[in-house]
Amino acid sequence: MSSATKLEHGISVPFLVLLAALVAFGPLSIDMYLPSLPTIAENLGATQAKVQWSISGFLIGFCIGMLFYGPLSDRYGRKAILIVGIFLYLLSSLACFVAASADQLVLFRIIQAIGGGAASVLARAIVRDLLPLDKAAHTLSIMHVVTMIAPLIAPLIGGYLMLWFGWRSLFLGLFLFGLVCFISVLFIKETLSAEHRGGSIAKAFSAYWHILLDKNALGYILCMGMTFAGMFAYITASSFVFIKHFGVPDQYFGWVFGLNVIGIMIFTFTASHFVKRYGPRPILRIGTTVACLAGAFLLVVAYFEWGGMWSVMFFLFCYISVTGTIGANCIACLMSLYPKQAGAASALAVATQFGLGFIASFVVGLLHFYGAMNMALVLAFCGFAGFMALRMVD
């Protein structure tokens, strides 16, 4: 690869795009699917809550997969584990395509998530294999900007695919995306050399215990996880809030969703330049403060119904915009504490992130307030919790 095709930190542009695509397995597998939730519920004769379990089930599977793959990759290397995980994702995507009931769909989505978890967690570990803290934080931020292109277009593609070909076509789209990534991974080199791999499987998995006992590591994990959980409260409830409550047409929902993704891209791209000068900690303080305040104001406008859809969209925009930066810098700081267990550290952080996202998703489904209150209440709590979690770090 010529130097002209490389960024300043030495990672080639095509390789960076592949890493961003791998990180996007989770968001893409959910966001493309969002506009179809009401239609799937009607088509399969299922309740709204049952169909929302296909999101919650995906989060459960994603957590299981990441916790399994992280230590295994520290022991056996990144590439082989990636190949196995993505192959499982491909098979289960086809199974989702032919699902005959909501129960089958939930089951196949869990298996799909277990496979996709390998891609998401190991892409981050690969960055830590190759780069030190400051460059890793910068690169992860760039990856998040590139990754946000997928959630930006995914609901749009999903809405029109459902309109033209029906909701089952969404899973063929996910299969094709996974297939491109699978073929690309076959041609990359292993990034974790043999001398840097762990001894036994038991030792590799024991890293989880040591990380959890570290107050600083736990602070980064919870900060990242709670902030992300608020975003998943939004993801789970957004189609019902905007399509059912505010009356946004299915095919235009993606544009509403995409505005928040543009915010993530702008804030993350800007913060990625400042992190090289000031480091990740000041960026994290700013990001968590914005999330906390945005969540609080969203709760107020949702409760009093001030400003209608536009005020809800504005404070959602403020909250969601900082989530990419918070996630990238938290995980960079965490992996810098445990460079030899980067796979386990990344797996624990991202699994906690999606695990808390599952809880937030589940709680939103249980609440029965009017309008946007379900989403706003959970999101406000998560923003405050993420703000407080960062205060655990010395």
Query: Is 374 or 293 the better-scoring residue by pLDDT?
Result: 293
* Whether 1 contacts 187, CB under 8 Å: no
Mean pLDDT of 57-83: 83
Q: In the predicted model, is pLDDT for residue 360 greater than 60?
A: yes
The pLDDT value given to residue 357? 82
Q: Choose the most confident range, by mean pLDDT, from 82-86, 163-167, 352-356, 359-363.
A: 82-86
Query: What confidence category does residue 374 fall into, taking pLDDT thresholds of 50, 70 and 90?
Result: confident
Q: In the predicted model, is pLDDT for residue 30 greater than 50?
A: yes
Tokens at 244, concatenated: 């059912």
Which of the residue ranges 36-40, 315-319, 387-391 would you say has the lowest mean pLDDT?
36-40
* Whether 25 contacts 58, CB under 8 Å: no
* Whether 100 contacts 3, CB under 8 Å: no
* Whether 242 contacts 248, CB under 8 Å: yes
Query: What confidence category does residue 92 fall into, taking pLDDT thresholds of 50, 70 and 90?
Result: very high
Mean pLDDT of 326-345: 83
Question: Positive or negative, the Cα torsion across 290, 292, 293, 299?
Answer: positive
The pLDDT value given to residue 3? 41
Give CA–CA dist 186/25, Å, rounded.
17
Query: Is 345 or 128 the better-scoring residue by pLDDT?
Result: 345
The pLDDT value given to residue 84? 92
**Radius of gyration over every alpha carbon of the chain, rounded to an integer in angstroms:** 20
Contacting residues for 276 by C-beta, under 8 A, at least 6 apart:
134, 138
The pLDDT value given to residue 176? 93
Angle at 85 between CA 162 and CA 341, to 5 degrees: 125
Q: In the predicted model, is pLDDT for residue 143 greater than 70?
A: yes
Q: Hey, what domains does the chain have and what are their CATH numbers?
A: 11-390 (1.20.1250.20)
- What percent of the chain is predicted at pLDDT more than 90? 25
The pLDDT value given to residue 95? 93
The pLDDT value given to residue 217? 92
Indicate the average pLDDT of the chain.
Answer: 83
The pLDDT value given to residue 10? 57
Query: What confidence category does residue 204 fall into, taking pLDDT thresholds of 50, 70 and 90?
Result: low
Mean pLDDT of 300-314: 88
pTM of full prediction above 0.85 = no
CB atoms within 10 A of CB 320: 26
Query: Is 76 or 334 the better-scoring residue by pLDDT?
Result: 334
Give CA–CA dist 223/377, Å, rounded.
18
The pLDDT value given to residue 199? 60
Query: What confidence category does residue 277 fall into, taking pLDDT thresholds of 50, 70 and 90?
Result: confident
Q: In the predicted model, is pLDDT for residue 182 greater than 80?
A: yes
Q: In the predicted model, is pLDDT for residue 5 greater than 50?
A: no
